[in-house]
Chain A
Amino acid sequence: DAKTTQPPSMDCAEGRAANLPCNHSTISGNEYVYWYRQIHSQGPQYIIHGLKNNETNEMASLIITEDRKSSTLILPHATLRDTAVYYCIVSGGKLIFGQGTELSVKP
């Protein structure tokens, strides 16, 4: 499974867009990019995933670069409830979590 690199922490103002980057330069052709988040004291929650096209759902948007070596998760209007650890995972069969990015949304 390809390794991912994420910044350990980020801040975002409430109501603004949160853009969380992820590098996955060793991704192979059949591996998907998954994003999960974990709010304190809860199990991780699925957000979105994609292969090579940009994806959007009710929670977020996922932008994957054309060479697939990096991606960005976008929370369009961050709220205080979006404060969590966000995990970017490249998977070809099982999910391997890294350290994630701790996002703090501030009023």
Chain B
Amino acid sequence: DAGVTQSPTHLIKTRGQQVTLRCSPKSGHDTVSWYQQALGQGPQFIFQYYEEEERQRGNFPDRFSGHQFPNYSSELNVNALLLGDSALYLCASSSVIGAGQPNEKLFFGSGTQLSVL
């Protein structure tokens, strides 16, 4: 049983460009959350997708957007990249536990390391 898979593992972009990161959740999971982790910091919550809709969002600008597909996989898009967007981007999956209540027992992927030059 594959866990959470993310692609690519590493990515280098320049300022102003756009980037798309991809995530496949663990089998049986229907909810995907995205986190940004700067060097030496804890992961910061970006947003969470369930039933192809953004359900919760952290304190990130509109340059950060996402999508969830019918097969539960997800994409994170970042437009107009800034140097400060350089970070490890983590995807986590979970399953809803009744009445749409998200399960906070998350399974994380190994992340995509994004470098913005």
Contact = CB atoms under 8 A, between A and B. Distances in A.
Contact of A98 (B42, B102, B104, B109): B42
B56 A94 contact: yes
A42 B110 contact: yes
Interface in B10-46: 33, 35, 41-45
Say which size band chain B's interface belongs to.
20 to 34
Give the secondary structure class of A's interface: loop
Given A34-B104, A43-B109, A45-B108, A94 B90 contact: no
Interface residues of A, number: 21
Interface of A: 32, 34, 36, 41-46, 49, 85, 87, 91, 93-100
Interface of B: 4, 33, 35, 41-45, 48, 56, 58, 90, 92, 102, 104-111
